[in-house]
Amino acid sequence: MKPISRRQVLVLGGLGTATILTGCTGLFLSANGGYVSNIAENFLEPATLKSVNGALQLKLTSAEGRVQIAGRPATILSYNGGVPGPTWKVQPGDTVKVSVENQLSEPTNLHVHGLHVSPSGNSDNVLVSIDPGSSFDYEYQLPEDHPPGVYWYHPHHHGNVATQVFGGLYGAIIVEDPTPIPVSRERVLVISDITLDASGSIPGSSEMDTMVGREGNLILVNGQALPTMAALPGERERWRIVNACASRYVRLRLDGQELQLLGIDSGRFAEPRDVTEVVLAPGNRADLLVTTVTGTATLQTLPVDRGSAMGMMGGTRGSSTSANLATLVVAGTPATALAGVPIQPRPRDLRASAVDGSRELVFAMGMGGMGMGGGGSMMSFTVDGKEFDPTRIDTVVEGGSVEEWTLTNTSPMDHPIHLHVWPMQIVEQNGSAVQEILWQDVVNVPANSRVRVRIPFDDFTGTTVYHCHILDHEDLGMMGLINAT
C-alpha cells in the first residue's frame, strides 16, 4: 500500500478519494515492548459533564497513576483517573469554570483548543504555570454566537506539552447546535497513541523520536484498543472525532458505510459533504454523520507520509502508518428513517473582503537548536528564524482587524499550524485558490510549500500563541507569541 502523498493532503478533512484501499495492519504498529492489550471490549464513551442553566463547573486533577488502557493496567497520566478526561458539553453563551489541580512532578496548565474565548487572565491563558502540588481556577465565557462543533482540551505548558499529551492528558469539548441535528445516536471518539513497555509504563522518547515527532506503537479510541460498536441498519449516527495524537496524522476510512462530513474543527459546511475518507492532522477534529449499512465494518487509519527529518538525520521519515481502530457491527431490524439534516448557516467568507494587513510566517527546521526553545537539541525548529521565547512578542495585530497570512514551510516535513482563539479561513494552497469556504484552526502546511489564510481578530485582545501542532516541534521552539491590542 502506498501512503497518501503530502501533496494530496492539502485540505485536511476535505472530500475523500473514491479509491478503495486494503491491506491494513493490525492494532500494533511495531514492537510494543511486551504490553498486551485486551481487544475484546465494547465501545465506551468518556464520562460526560453537561452545562446546566448556562454554566458548567468542574475539577480536573492531573496525575500519574495506574489506569486501564486497552483493557489492561498501565501507569500513565490522566485527568480524574480516566483516559480521555471527561467530555464537556456546553452551549454558546455558557460560562465554564474549571479548577485544575496539578499532582504531576512538573508544571502544567490547560488549553481549550479551538474555543473562541479570551486568551487573558484566567481564561485560555497558555502562559499560566501551575506548579506541582498547586491548583488554578480557569473561567471561560463563550460568546452567544460561538460556533457549534468539536473542540478539545489539553496541557500547554511550553516544554512539557508533547510528553503530557502523549502521556494521556486530553479530553473532548462539544459546543452543541442551536438547532439540533436529528440522529439515532451520538458518539465521541478521541483518537490517541501511546507506547507502553511490558510493565505498562511509558518509556522515554529518543532524541530522534522528538526530532520527527513521536508516534506511539498503540493507537487508542477513548483509551481502548479496537472496541466494538453496534447499530441497527439505517441509523444515522453522529461521530465527534478528535485527533489527540502528539504527532500522528490519521486518515480515516469506514468502508461499506455511508459517511457525510458536517465540518472540520469549528468550520461547518452549509450542507453535509459525502466523503469516503477524512484526514486529520494532530489537533484537527471532524464532525461526521454515519448512516449504517448491514454488515461489519472496520474503522481504519491508513498511511500518511508527513515527510522526513532531512538527509542529515539519516532520512528518518515521519510517515503515519496503518492500523485498525474500531469495529462497527450493523445488524437487526432496520431503523425508522429520520428527518433530514437542517441547512446550516452559510459560513462567513473573507475571500472578497479587504484586509487590514498582510504578513508571512516562515516555519523552518535546521541544524543546531541550542537556544531556549531547542533545549540543546541537535536540530532547530523556528518561526521566522527564531526559537520560541516567552519574553518576546513576535507578532502584534490590531483587535477587530482582518489579516492575510502566508504560512510558508521551508522544511522537508509537514507542519500543522495552530492559532489559538481565532480560526483561519484557508484561501490559497501552494498557489491555487481554494474554491470553497473552508475554516480551520489547525491548518496543515505540507513540506516545502505555503498556504494563505485570512484571520478576523474579533472580540478579544491579549497575548497568545501560534505554533506547529506536532507537539515535539512546538516544545523544541516552533512557536511564536502574538499580541492583539
pLDDT band at 413 (very low <50, low <70, confident <90, very high): very high
C-alpha cell at position 320: 503515519
- In the chain, the number of structural domains is 1
- pLDDT in the model for residue 456: 98
**pLDDT value at 432 more than 70:** yes
Please report, for the domain that includes residue 376, its CATH number. 2.60.40.420
Residue 410 inside a domain? The answer is yes
Range of the domain at 402: 357-484
Section 1-15 average pLDDT: 38
Residue 218 inside a domain? The answer is no
Q: What is the pLDDT of residues 55-83, one digit of tens each?
A: 999 999 999 999 999 999 999 999 999 99
- pLDDT in the model for residue 51: 98
Beta bridge partners of 484: 397, 462
- pLDDT in the model for residue 310: 60
Residue 461 inside a domain? The answer is yes
Residue 68 inside a domain? The answer is no
In whole angstroms, give the CA distance from residue 325 to residue 111: 27
Which range among 4-13, 104-113, 180-189, 216-225 shows the weakest confidence by mean pLDDT?
A: 4-13
pLDDT band at 28 (very low <50, low <70, confident <90, very high): very low
Which among 56, 58, 141 is positioned nearest to 100, based on CA atoms?
A: 58
Residue 429 inside a domain? The answer is yes
Phi, psi at residue 145, to the nearest 5°? -105, 25
- pLDDT in the model for residue 19: 29
CB 397 within 8 A of CB 485: yes
Q: What is the mean pLDDT of the chain?
A: 90
pLDDT over 90 for what percent of the chain?
82
Which range among 113-117, 327-331, 377-381 shows the weakest confidence by mean pLDDT?
A: 377-381
Section 273-298 average pLDDT: 98
Residue 366 inside a domain? The answer is yes
pLDDT over 70 for what percent of the chain?
89
C-alpha cell at position 221: 479510541
What single letter denotes the amino acid at residue 280? L
Residue 69 inside a domain? The answer is no
Section 197-221 average pLDDT: 93
Section 30-36 average pLDDT: 59
**pLDDT value at 220 more than 50:** yes
| Cβ-proximal residues to 70 (8 Å cutoff; 6+ apart), any chain | 35, 37, 38, 39, 218, 220, 223, 224, 225
CB 227 within 8 A of CB 333: no
- pLDDT in the model for residue 270: 87
pTM of the full predicted structure? 0.92
In whole angstroms, give the CA distance from residue 114 to residue 20: 32
Residue 217 inside a domain? The answer is no
Q: What is the pLDDT of residues 350-389, one digit of tens each?
A: 999 999 999 999 999 998 654 444 445 678 999 999 999 9
- pLDDT in the model for residue 363: 98
In whole angstroms, give the CA distance from residue 464 to residue 394: 11
**pLDDT value at 131 more than 80:** yes
- pLDDT in the model for residue 379: 86
